[in-house]
Amino acid sequence: MSDIETISAKEIDRYLLDKSYLLVDVRNPSEYRKMHIRGAVCIPYEYLLQRIQGLGGAVPILYCDRGGLSMQAARELQEHGHRAISVVGGIQAYRGRYLERNFR
């Protein structure tokens, strides 16, 4: 098995406007609603494998809270023949301008 492809949180903004990539938040919907990166879709980890086909040809860039779950998800996708990239440090490490918070 090869190494999992990763990017740092500060590299996310470079991929957001590139249609060949899709930013995927693998946390649960309530965590996504509280805080997420604009343009990301929420596909909870437990549903990722069954929903990956629906992403078309886009390479998923996965993030979670701190990077552990997205790394696990990327490994699982890779084992099933899909390319995936994990964000090191997760949303907690992201300091870009696309962070959206809901304080309600």
60-82: per-residue pLDDT in tens?
Answer: 999 999 999 999 999 999 999 99
Q: Extract the tokens encoding 17.
A: 């406007």
CATH code, domain carrying 47: 3.40.250.10
Structure-block tokens of residue 96:
């870009």
Domain of residue 30: give its range: 5-101
pLDDT tens digits for 9-60?
Answer: 999 999 999 999 999 999 999 999 999 999 999 999 999 999 988 888 899 9
Domains in the chain: how many in total?
1
Q: With a threshold of 0.85, does the pTM exceed it?
A: yes
Distance CA 52, CA 66 (A): 22
